[in-house]
């Protein structure tokens, strides 16, 4: 048995997790020195920091003037659930799912909200549902990028500007990485720890005027905990959208979010962020093309994500193993790389088919991905050797 030799170089930053994602290049704790610590978030200075996050996010994303943007509790889950709990039920809803998070939102509306009129448009890992099947007279809920399958919607042609329902978009692994078509969306949510690599726990909730109109004209029949309440007496609580958060935020995380936003501005804004992610995907594509044992989980190139890139092992020896052994082998692959300090958190999501997932968002350097690939090849050679010997 010949043990393959270790590659000579490791990525300078071996962080490839899909959340919390890599910090921006050059980040250190010094970036947080101006944090507003030990002070009330409701003081003038505290509110100014929170408003700064909102203002810079709006500008970077090109949010239309008449949209609201607020900081809410509980990360992206908090933001999307707050939206679903507050807005849905007025009419039927089309729920789209092609991986774990979309599935979870279906569970929410069926088993928790117990909505009567729910259509689920679903597809297996690696595929997309037939997007034009959505009905623009109904509400629509979907994740722009399926983080756990690496499948992203390829365009917005299937969304209708002249809709009568609302479109709720979980964009947590798409915001700051894709140009979102605001005129075709009504609710967009994301978190701080994804594309800009901020610290976690706060969600962002963006609302179109149509979403606000629904909030002010529709009262869901179920109870809403304080954490989810964005209206009072039938009116939107304006304060939430200028930095008066529902509950206490972490001012350390706020400072880190500001650091990420300033970095994004300095490198050239949204086009530069998108460009970095695309360059990262292109590097992965070059390696996959040259590597016989691996392929993309996304079946079609047009819907391959350039943030959460999911890969499957296509080696015939691997394919002939029973399911639980395939999962164990894929895990071993990721563990070997991690033990060498060459790549952290690169295993597929727990509910996804066994394989690898590499974050390719803007904070990841292409050179680090390129330094990772020889380690993946090395780990696969080691694992394949063991399989042959078994
Ligand atoms: C598409 C999608 N939705 C929701 C979530 C949950 O996000 P959070 O942990 O910020 O609540 C994730 C996390 O990866 C995600 O990828």
Nearest ligand 1 atom to the CA of 143 is 1
- As to burial, measured by CB atoms within 10 angstroms (0-12 exposed, 13-18 middle, 19+ buried), residue 278 is middle
Q: Which atom of ligand 1 is nearest to the CA of 146?
A: 1
pLDDT digits (tens, 9 = 90+) for 46-72: 999 999 999 999 999 999 999 999 999
pLDDT above 60 (res 78)? yes
Who wins on pLDDT, 390 or 41? 41
Amino acid 183: pLDDT:
98
The span from the CA of 112 to the CA of 133, in Å, is 25
Structure confidence at residue 249 as a pLDDT band (50, 70, 90): very high
**Section 349-357 average pLDDT:** 92
Summarize pLDDT for 153-212 with one digit per residue, the tens: 999 999 999 999 999 999 999 999 999 999 999 999 999 999 999 999 999 999 999 999
What H or E segment, with its residue span, contains residue 320? none
Look at residue 326 and tell me whether its pLDDT is greater than 60: yes
Atom of ligand 1 nearest to the CA of 148: 16
- Whole-angstrom Cα Rg for the chain: 22
- Report whether 346 contacts 338 (CB < 8 A): yes
Which residue among 84, 125, 172, 200 is best mutated to probe the pocket of ligand 1, counting the most ligand atoms within 8 A of its Cβ? 172
Residue 323 phi/psi, 5-degree rounding, is -50, -45
* Amino acid 185: pLDDT: 99
Ligand 1 center–CA 284 separation, angstroms: 23
C-beta separation of 296 from 352 below 8 A: no
Q: Atom 8 in ligand 1: which residue has the minimum CA distance? A: 76
Strand order in the sheet with 294-296: 294-296, 308-313, 356-359
Q: What is the pLDDT of residue 2?
A: 65
Q: Is pLDDT at 1 greater than 60 in this prediction?
A: no
pLDDT over 90, % of the chain: 97
More reliable by pLDDT, 101 or 323: 101
pLDDT computed for residue 390 by the predictor: 83
pLDDT band, residue 351 (cuts 50/70/90):
confident
Which residues' Cβ are closer than 6 Å to ligand 1? Answer: 19, 75-77, 101, 143, 147, 170, 172-173, 191
In 19-165 the beta strands, taken as DSSP E runs, fall at: 68-73, 93-97, 118-122, 139-143, 145-146, 151-152
Residue 283 has pLDDT above 80, yes or no: yes
Ligand 1 nearest-atom number relative to CA 200: 10
258 band by pLDDT with thresholds 50, 70 and 90: very high
Region 257-279 average pLDDT: 98
Q: How far apart are alpha carbons 193 and 190 in whole angstroms?
A: 9
Binned at pLDDT 50, 70 and 90, residue 227 comes out as very high
Share of the chain above pLDDT 70, in %: 99
Counting ligand 1 atoms within 8 A of each CB, the residue from 21, 77, 190, 360 with the most, and so the one to mutate, is 77
**Would you say residue 3 has pLDDT above 80?**
no
In whole numbers, what is the pLDDT of the chain averaged over residues?
97
What is the model's pLDDT at position 87? 98
Q: How far is the CA of 76 from the centre of ligand 1 (A)?
A: 6
What pLDDT is attached to residue 208?
Answer: 99
pLDDT value at position 4? 80
* Model confidence pTM above 0.85: yes
CB 126 within 8 A of CB 118: no
- Nearest to 362, CA basis, from 145, 147, 153, 176: 176
Q: In the structure encoding, which two tokens stand for residue 18, read together?
A: 């899909």
Task: Encode pLDDT of 161-178 as tens digits.
Answer: 999 999 999 999 999 999
In terms of DSSP H, where are the helices of 240-293?
251-267, 269-289
């Amino acid at each position: 048995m010949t043990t393959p030799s270790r590659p000579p170089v490791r990525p300078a930053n071996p962080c490839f997790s899909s959340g919390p994602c890599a910090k921006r290049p050059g980040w250190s704790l010094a970036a947080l020195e101006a944090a507003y610590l030990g002070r009330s978030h409701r003081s003038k200075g505290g509110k100014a920091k929170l408003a700064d996050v909102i203002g810079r996010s709006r500008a970077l994303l090109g949010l239309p003037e008449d949209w609201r943007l607020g900081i809410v509790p509980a990360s992206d889950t908090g933001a999307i659930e707050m939206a679903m709990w507050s807005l849905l039920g007025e009419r039927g809803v089309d729920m789209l799912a092609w991986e774990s998070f979309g599935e979870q939102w279906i569970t929410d509306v069926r088993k928790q909200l117990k909505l009567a009129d729910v259509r689920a448009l679903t597809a297996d890992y690696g595929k997309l549902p037939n997007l034009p099947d959505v009905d623009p007279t109904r509400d629509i809920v979907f994740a722009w990028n399926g983080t756990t399958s690496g499948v992203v919607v390829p365009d917005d042609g299937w969304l209708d500007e002249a809709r009568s329902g609302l479109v709720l978009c979980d964009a947590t692994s798409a915001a700051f990485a894709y140009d979102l078509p605001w005129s075709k969306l009504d609710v967009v949510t994301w978190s701080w720890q994804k594309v800009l690599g901020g610290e976690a726990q706060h969600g962002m909730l963006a609302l179109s005027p149509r979403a606000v109109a629904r909030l002010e004209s529709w009262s869901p029949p179920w109870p809403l905990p304080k954490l989810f309440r964005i209206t009072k007496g039938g009116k939107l609580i304006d304060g939430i959208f200028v930095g008066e958060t529902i509950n206490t935020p972490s001012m350390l995380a706020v400072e880190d979010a500001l650091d990420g936003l300033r970095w994004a501005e300095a490198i050239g804004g949204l086009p530069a962020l998108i460009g970095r992610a695309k360059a990262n995907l292109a590097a992965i594509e070059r390696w996959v093309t040259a590597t016989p044992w691996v392929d993309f989980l996304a079946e079609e190139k047009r819907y391959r994500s350039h943030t959460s890139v999911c890969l499957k092992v296509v080696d015939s020896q691997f394919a002939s193993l029973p399911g639980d052994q395939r999962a164990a082998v894929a895990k071993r692959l990721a563990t070997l790389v991690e033990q060498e300090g060459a790549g952290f958190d690169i295993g597929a999501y727990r509910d996804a088919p066994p394989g690898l997932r590499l974050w390719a968002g803007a904070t990841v350097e292409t050179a680090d991905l390129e330094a990772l690939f020889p380690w993946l090849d090395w780990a696969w050679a080691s694992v394949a050797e063991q399989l042959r010997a078994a």
